[in-house]
Structure 1
């Protein structure tokens, strides 16, 4: 009798394995995460990886992703794109060759744009935190954006600057990069739409730290607000030189490239330092606290960039596959772009993709640097 039971048990197991094999679904679903993991932006890239890992661990701890009558575990596969377009292409191919189902890639717009055709050829949905509008304008179905694009950020920069109390005269200065110049041009346009005067418009280079000629022009035009896409180290030097020249009433509003701790000591030298960012901090969302508590426990510190977006992206993808009962890439993409898909995004609560791959409910926030901390002022999806 015991022998018969053993035979029945063995037969049942064999049948289950046969059914699992016939389903064609993987036992492990690979999620590619390609970010800059070395170089100057490594901390930002690792932050994205950490967010994705945290989500994967949570999902796996609950048994993985349900696909029909079975379950599949998630696995992170990382690649270092070094914030370089060519390296990013190679990293994308490495992930595709590894058999990933979806890619959370990349940080830099130039890298995301260069790598996009590689993911598209393999039908791999690409979820990027990059902000350049042209990323989703390549006629590739697989390009999806996790945050607001630069069009909305430029409107935020111009609109917020224009409404600052007492502001009448504005200067707009960019760093001559395609990203910085495009953002600055649109910000200047937004200021003019608010019936404000742009008295100075300049393009400098992204290495300059001697701003004597610019400061002379700011003084001559009696500029109230400088809107700029210069980097944090440049704005640091600019503030010191402006204060030394007596321009202590100047206010500076920059993009997310200045939202670092580099300006903490110099910010009090002038009337105000503001930054806009499409990366709305986790603490600003109603459901941000549980994520932050878990992140701190796991990684012994706070997230520093977009970890919560990577975290939400993994949860959203897992939810989509579970509803599809399959890890099929094409069906995953269709689900993600389905306007009726109200997927699980634990922190942001509203990660939804439009037909063109843009975020349907993206927002840009404005922060004021005060007492060594970037304090949220306002965020909007309209501006």
Structure 2
């Protein structure tokens, strides 16, 4: 059988052959030259210092990885950070999550707020994109999604720490229990309240606010009127600063305040001298508590000219663990990264290691208790079993 082709037909055949060859080559070379990593945090508003710190950690890690010449399957690749501002809002969080998906990110380090992480999680999961969050509400990893990964211990353990420490270490008998109305705040306060009740401590004042309230004159008056000796709170740092100002204005500061991790910040240290004692629990240990923390702090300060405000060392480590997963999977496809993160005991330069259970809970999580003293948060104790 003889195949006769016209000149036009031969050209078409050669063109088709070239297209198919190119497609096959692209299929073999599935690793892109630029790998995009999404960072979704509150970059404006009252929590912007915390969100910027989390972004700073990722940027520092990416700068180092790119400088060393990161390779996947022998191919040099460049990491690119795509940062978005979730404004600490669940609705905005969903919007920016979709923006990151549309931008082609292969992993997301976000979000700070539990309510935002929970709202955005299904959007990432629909595309198999792993979401590594500093958020602590247990519901985040109870969504039934394969793509949720928590960087620290959750609030079940933190609630036990708050209730246990305040009940056993403070001599006061009259407690106030305050929350910020968010999933994080309400659930954490409820867990702490259960611990106080079990310890037979009297909660004489319990109140919920929204997470942006800063007018606390009425609350301060109630605290004084009911003779509160210990304030247990899940309000944000700027809110506790405002509350302490209101208490100072009515000369009622002989109290102890114990809050969750959102008050263990540099901003909160400004209120350290107002109350009789200011304490915070946190699943986020200070960088200086780790052997490798000093080197990280030197690099962070050299680049940003400030100290970390919150948990930049955890997002720094998260970026390194993501890079390890990409290298091990020999792929930058989101689903391959997710699958590998489920198996990895990833090297984290500052904190040592990160590993997750089947739900995405951090296996190496602990809760520390800190007191504000001399412009620093000083460690009092820490445990993974409160």
What TM-score do you get using the length of structure 2 for normalisation? 0.85
The aligned runs of 1:138-153 (5 Å cut-off) are 138-153=143-158
Tell me the distance in 2 between the aligned counterparts of 1:126 and 1:265. 33
Q: Which residue of 1 aligns with 2:139?
A: 134
Distance 1:45 1:199, change over 3 A: closer
Equivalent residue runs for 1:1-383 within 5 Å: 22-67=28-73, 69-193=74-198, 195-206=199-210, 207=213, 208-210=215-217, 211-219=219-227, 223-239=228-244, 242=247, 249-264=254-269, 266-338=271-343, 341-383=344-386
Q: Distance in 1 between matches of 2:270 and 2:30?
A: 58
Task: Please tell me whether the aligned partners of residues 65 and 318 of structure 1 are also in contact (alpha carbons under 8 angstroms).
Answer: no
Q: Is the 8 A contact 1:59 1:65 kept in 2?
A: no
Evaluate the alpha carbon distance shift between residue 180 and residue 293 of structure 1 in structure 2; reply closer, same or farther with a 3 A threshold.
same
Q: Kindly tell me the number of residue pairs found equivalent between the two proteins.
A: 361
**Alpha-carbon offset, residue 346 of structure 1:** 0.6
Partner SS state of residue 297, structure 2: helix
Q: CA deviation at 1:120?
A: 0.7
User: Is the partner of 1:350 in helix, strand or coil?
Assistant: strand
User: What's the secondary structure of 2:60's corresponding residue?
Assistant: helix
Separation in 1, partners of 2:328, 2:38: 21
TM-superposed deviation, 1:248: 5.0
Aligned counterparts of 1:300 and 1:259: Cα–Cα separation in 2: 20
**2:346 is paired with a residue of what secondary structure?**
coil
Post-superposition Cα deviations, 1:306-336, rounded to whole Å, max 9, x if no partner, equal 2111111111011112122222322221111
Q: Distance in 1 between matches of 2:232 and 2:334?
A: 42
1:72 to partner: Cα distance: 2.2
Contact 1:171 1:218 in 2 (8 A): no
**Change beyond 3 A, Cα 1:270–1:65:** same
Matches of 1:322 and 1:175 in 2, distance apart?
41
In the alignment, the residues of structure 1 paired with residue 90 and residue 171 of structure 2 have an alpha-carbon distance, to the nearest angstrom, of 43
Q: Is the 8 A contact 2:115 2:184 kept in 1?
A: no
Q: What is the CA–CA distance in structure 1 between the aligned matches of 2:309 and 2:270, rounded to whole Å?
A: 19
Once residues 174 and 287 of structure 2 are traced to their aligned partners in structure 1, the CA distance between those partners, rounded to angstroms, is: 34
The runs of 5 or more residues in structure 2 that have no matched partner are 1-20
Q: Verify the 8 A CA contact 2:281 2:367 in the aligned structure 1.
A: yes
d(CA) in 1 for partners of 2:170 and 2:317?
37
SS in 1 for 2:226: helix
Could you say what the CA RMSD is over the residues aligned between the two structures, in angstroms?
2.5
Return 5+ residue gaps in structure 1 as ranges. Answer: 1-14
Classify 1:88/1:191 alpha carbon distance in 2 versus 1 (closer, same or farther; 3 Å): same
Q: What is the CA–CA distance in structure 1 between the aligned matches of 2:353 and 2:168, rounded to whole Å?
A: 28
Distance 1:266 1:25, change over 3 A: closer
